[in-house]
Amino acid sequence: MPFGRDSNPFLRDEGSSGLSVFWNIVQGIIIAIAINVTIYFMFVMPCQVDGPSMQPTLMNADLLLTNKIPTWLGQTTFGKENGLDYHRGDIIVFSYQDIYLVKRIIGIGGDTIMIKGGHVYLNGSLLNESYLASTIQTIYPDSMYALHNEGETFTIPGNQFFVLGDNRENSKDSRFAEVGLIDRGKIKGVVFFKFWPINQLKIISKPTYS
């Protein structure tokens, strides 16, 4: 009695095998897309610099990656124990009105800030900012636009941040009442990598303040 098609162990359905391979590829692509979307929304966000306010550290049109982990874990016990929260010196991206701004954290909740004679004083000590251009001075705008007055010491409330652009003479930042202190909830992430221009790839590390 001859073997039927379904009973022949040596006969394979090439059409079904090809279809199986096709669906495996499709499933792999879907999984890869899902993983990338999850990483994008939960952990990493690309952004582009628009303007000169962070020069010379960041230039106009630079493409950056921001780390969003502090957004999710910074205030947790695990995050605090492992240094995953926002820190002085971090370059952050935050929402302002209907746009994003990129600036550097100078003071965190509980710190005191004073700006006088073109310099920043953090917790009573002159802040050594090696990332600034040598000719840059930090001054307040006219009093009608300023958050505080020149030479006035103020304390940053908890869960708020005082931020400045590295190009102090061409940056709208926390010195201006219009921007003011930045609430934690407005921060989208910490800049950690520049990937464009391609010949300027680098990790963006935060400075160590004395």
- Could you list the active site residues? 53, 103
Task: Please answer whether residues 122 and 111 qualify as being in contact, where contact means their C-beta atoms are separated by less than 8 angstroms.
Answer: yes
What are residue 15's phi and psi, to 5 degrees? Answer: -65, -45
35, HSE (Cβ side, Cα atoms, 13 Å): 6
Place of tokens 């221009």: 197
Task: Please answer whether residues 103 and 165 qualify as being in contact, where contact means their C-beta atoms are separated by less than 8 angstroms.
Answer: yes
Radius of gyration of the chain (CA): 26
In the chain, what is the straight-line distance between the N-terminal and C-terminal CA atoms, in Å?
91
